[in-house]
Amino acid sequence: MYARTLRPLLFLVPPGAAHALAFAGLAPLEHLAPLRAAARAWLAPPADPRLRVRAMGLDFPSPLGLAGGFDKNARRPRALAALGFGHLELGTVTARPQAANPRPNLFRLPADRALVNRLGFPNEGAARVAARVRAVRGRVGVGVPVALSIGKSRAVPVDDLEAVVADYAASFEAVRDAADFVVVNVSSPNTAGLRSMQAGEHARTLLGALAARAAGKPLLVKMAPDLDDAGIEALLEAVEQAKLAGVVATNTTIGREGLATDARRVQAIGAGGLSGPPLRRRALEVVRRVRARLGKEAVVVGVGGVERAEHAMDLVRAGADLVQMYTGFIYEGPGAPGRIARELAAMVEREGAPSIAALRG
């Protein structure tokens, strides 16, 4: 029904307006427990021990989660969990509240089932968002593990490493007790200079400083798909030195190769991070490389182009413990998380495996 009726209607309006409409539609689900129970019964898969993943000391009912960027201010976590996601990454939040980059800043590429965004971490600030998450979890809970993603405030100059570390540290301190785990976003292409924080010395300094504050809170770093081999190795070395729990692979790409969308349209859109199926192949490559370098104990979250169970399973076989979707959720609709989870369970059964974790590469 979504693909035939709701998506065409939503796609008649600009992407930002469609996102606002979707959030308005999720409001009753967020605030009314009977509706969440009904949605869970209708859309979410029944608990299946074959899909359960144990990672970072947490229990994930399924490996499929929602990627960061969809719910930047943690306004709909209970509603999103009720749709069947096995975990949520909320944010990205920054120490200082900030608005989005100038509009237009979000674009659809329907021919590629992709998005381009240059939003730039719009959020109400780490402290306020974390307080909202604590309040929700304290009242009725969310029902699945919750991550908060932290990024650099736009106002902090990227060439002042001490200020950057202090800014990230302020965000981490604000969200630490609200989240089950924290994702350090150093790879968005939409904050000027941010990706330089993936470089060896910068990454070692930042990740080491945050790890020193972690006090047992699992920390993951989100990496760009556009790093070359040397850049990947340098970042993963910093991950190992800081003893982080693992990596989220990958963020959006600045690449535009192989798109079906007319090149003039792509050029007119301009800068921003591309997400969706065009990222799928590279995400698989990076997940394999991360797993090979970090070994079996590290947590790897695979992100990029997940629309169907086959895509999620490909990431698992490449080495991902968990997978996430965002753009596929936009194109496939609210039934996608539950459908993918049910199909994953069927795939595990066909393989004769005791669990999806047993199929991890």
pLDDT single digits (tens) 308-332? 999 999 999 999 999 999 999 999 9
Angle between helices 33-42 and 15-31 (to 10 degrees): 110
Active site residues: 188
Q: What is the DSSP letter of 253?
A: B
Which tokens in the block code for residue 81? 């969990």
* DSSP secondary structure code for residue 3 in this structure: I
Q: How far apart are CA 144 and CA 348, in angstroms?
A: 21
Structure pTM?
0.97
For 83-148, the DSSP string reads TT-SEEEEEEE-SS-BPPPSSP-EEEEGGGTEEEE-----BS-HHHHHHHHHHHHHHT--SS-EEE
Peptide bond into 92 cis (omega under 30): yes
Cα 297 to Cα 131: distance, rounded to the nearest angstrom: 32
Please tell me the number of Cα atoms within 13 Å of 159 on its side-chain side: 0
Q: Are 260 and 112 in contact (CB under 8 A)?
A: yes
Handedness of CA 132, 336, 282, 218 (dihedral sign): positive
CA–CA gap between residue 277 and residue 113 (Å, rounded)? 7
d(CA 333, CA 260): 22
- pLDDT at residue 46 tops 80: yes
3-state SS record for 164-175: HHHHHHHHHHHH
Cα 342 to chain center, whole Å?
21
Classify domain 2-359 by CATH architecture: Alpha-Beta Barrel (3.20)
The alpha carbon of residue 150 and the mean position of all alpha carbons in its chain are separated, in whole angstroms, by 12
The stretch 162-177 carries a mean pLDDT of 98
Mean pLDDT of 37-61: 95
Question: What pLDDT is recorded for position 252?
Answer: 98
* pLDDT tens sequence across 231-254: 999 999 999 999 999 999 999 999
* Mean pLDDT of the chain, nearest integer: 97
Q: What percent of the chain is predicted at pLDDT more than 90?
A: 95
